[in-house]
Amino acid sequence: MLSYYIKLGLKRLGETPVLTLLILMAMALGIAVSVTMLALHHAMAYNPAEEKSGRLFAVQLAAYGNDMETWGEEDGLPIQVTHRDAMNLRESTIPLRQTPMFRMALTLESHRQDMPPSADFVVRVADRDFFEMFGVNFVYGGPWDKTIDLDTARVAVINQSVNEYAFGGGNNVGKILLMNETEYRVVGITEDSNPLPRYYDLTSGAYPITPDSVFIPYSLAPQLESFPNGNISGWAAEPVNEFADLLQTEFVWQVYWVELPDAQAVAAYRDYLAGYVDQQQQLGRFQNGQARGHIRDVQQWLTYNRVIKDDNRVMVGLSFMFLLVCLVNTVGLLLARFLRRMNETGVRRALGASKLQIFQQYITEVSLLGLLGGGAGLLLSMVGLWGIRSLYTQYATIAYLDATMVAAAVAISLASSLIAGTYPAYRVCAAQPSLFLKAQ
Amino acid sequence: MLEMQSINKIFTTDLIETHALRDFNLEVEEGEFITVTGPSGSGKTTFLNIAGLLEPFSSGRYSLDGQDVSQMSDNDRSRLRNQKIGFIFQSFNLIPDLDLFDNVDVPLRYRGFPAKERRRRIMQALERVGLAARANHLPAQLSGGQQQRVAIARALAGEPKFLLADEPTGNLDSLMARQVMELLEGINREGTTIVMVTHDPELALRSQRNIQIIDGQVSDFSSAPAAVEPLV
């Protein structure tokens, strides 16, 4: 019977075109607004670390003086660490992999004629483990040798965009890249990738437009002359005239990640952090009563840093309220549409249709309307997301529909049509058929 | 075929109770063709609706083709209606946006026949009423008499044992009315039981038996339809 109901439903779509259009508009608008907000929320809630999410941990240290009650986040923990602590933490052998990191903006020069110097590429300073920990894929070459993390060398890993800019593409491993008039030997070329939210470094926003394009060894930090391109925070005033000064301060400006493969390693690293805090206290640092170390995995880190703002959740809630309002309107319009056909319903009942069969016929018709409304809503939500990308640059890289959201839109359309159609269909099928048989 | 014993039908509002049928008793034998007459508001249509299982009754016992319908569920009543009863209405009640083929198809769909069987029955029924060549026409393209013949074809397609007709000639001129009546008489001769509500005394005279309903009760049984008084 389903094919019969679908055939009838399709036949009736053209009936009362104005009413049909109003129903479709009401459903499409409600679905468009809710899918737009949901798509944005879905993109923001995405965890790019996926299966490694539970193995990667951000390290926090409450490393400040006793003249402060609290500092950092609400729990008294800053999200960054000092250079001195980063250097100390690197000595632990518990993590499977680990890396401190910070960002810089250096000026690159191209080997191509007519290409001007560019400071548009983000340079990330990190240890070799960064590439494996955060899933960076290489096109040519690979990461620098592990020994360079200790002994240092002026090497660089670049992404394909920089490779194109500096060399015009191709395998350029071994060639020289000029940054701030300093030579770096290219050891690897990676795919362009921009994992969002940028979970491993949230200090300058979760959704940066520019990806990390050049990677240089953390061991080069003492030799660098430019200041980092990120947040620098301190709990006490300290004179900083040049970059070398910053390395000696208690200012926090680096992020530290460790990869701990199992619960045993996690427990061991927590013990290690506790021991490290004790050791530093004995050395006269970490004098605050809250002094402690803490680690959070990726999902915890995203939540802790409020990557999804409360505003976004409120907007999703409001959008579904709007959908509800649209559905209430749709209920009224569907009632008008169905009640016009009461005579036909009476005839069908007289000819042997049960209440259930009449209900199924109308619900099928509503589902078809819902799918059409959902399709229109999907198109409108694409327009909505385009508007969001145009208006808000922080969402420019994430406000898109993916396959999951398209499937969600279809599900919302069907659910909406069932919610809106149940009462009108019930009213029609529950009516006494004899009342309408003489009313033609 | 049809047996009603002490049927009462009471319509209740906040202020008033109306007895549409009161202690209504009737027995119709298989193969009979009876007409039902009575003044407007006497309960003819209520009787027809109850007989056709379109309306519940307040009390009494009703048995159709040996089955007590009093306690039947909506599904069972619908199935019984679909399998054993054919309806013909005064205003034809064809579905305007379906062609003749699809209109006749409606009861067969609910019967669950396969497509081939449905097609055979539809074309047979349309041929019976002389409209097979116009199977793809819409009802609005036909005259009133033709539309009523389509309604009869729709009623016949499921081969019901019992045909209920509610003033089937009420909207037709005398020539067309005669044609429809002849069609119904032919169907009855083939064994289908027919109960027809009519205001037309001439048609009442042509049936085997006429009953008159007044104030919700059978006031007159007559095997001689000549006893029926002309009605306004």
Domain check: are A89 and A103 in the same one?
yes
- Interface contact flag, B158 A352, Cβ < 8 Å: yes
Q: At what angle do helices A355-391 and A17-44 cross, to 10 degrees?
A: 50
Interacting residues of A160 by C-beta distance below 8 A, sequence separation 6+: A139, A169, A189, A190, A191, A192
Binding-face residues of A in 344-373 toward B, CB within 8 A: 344, 346-357
**What is the CATH number assigned to the segment(s) B2-224?**
3.40.50.300
3-state helix, strand, coil in chain A (%, to 5): 50, 15, 35
- Interface contact flag, A354 B158, Cβ < 8 Å: no
The more confident residue out of B203 and B7 is B7
Q: A60, A293 in Cβ contact below 8 A? A: yes
- Interface contact flag, A354 B78, Cβ < 8 Å: yes
In this structure, which amino acid lies at residue A45?
A: A
Domain check: are A257 and A332 in the same one?
no
Structural domain total, chain A: 2
Residue after which a domain boundary falls, among A304, A334, A359: A304
Burial class of residue A45, CB neighbours in 10 A (0-12, 13-18, 19+): middle
- Interface contact flag, B54 A15, Cβ < 8 Å: no
Residues of B in contact with A354 (CB under 8 A): 74-75, 78-79, 110
Lowest mean pLDDT among A60-69, A236-245, B55-64: A60-69
Domain check: are A208 and A242 in the same one?
yes
Domain check: are A173 and A241 in the same one?
yes
B161 at A interface, C-beta within 8 A: no
Q: CB-CB: which of A353, A355, A438 is closest to B110?
A: A353
Q: With 90 as the cut, is the pLDDT of residue A395 above it?
A: no
pLDDT of residue B180: 84
Residues of B in contact with A438 (CB under 8 A): 45, 89-91
Q: Which domain holds residue A375?
A: 2-45+308-436
* Confidence band, pLDDT 50/70/90 cuts, at residue B227: very low
**Percent above pLDDT 90 for chain A:** 61
Domain check: are A57 and A194 in the same one?
yes
Domain check: are A422 and A392 in the same one?
yes
Lowest mean pLDDT among A137-151, B21-35, B200-214: B200-214
Closest CA to A380 of A35, A17, A18: A35
Domain check: are A280 and A352 in the same one?
no
Q: With 70 as the cut, is the pLDDT of residue B146 above it?
A: yes
- CA pair distance B164, B109, nearest whole angstrom: 20
Residues of B in contact with A11 (CB under 8 A): 97
Average confidence (pLDDT) over A353-368: 92
Residue after which a domain boundary falls, among A304, A339, A359: A304
Domain check: are A85 and A15 in the same one?
no
Average confidence (pLDDT) over A313-317: 89
State the distance between the two ends of chain B, measured CA to CA, in whole angstroms. Answer: 30
Domain check: are A230 and A328 in the same one?
no
* Confidence band, pLDDT 50/70/90 cuts, at residue B221: low
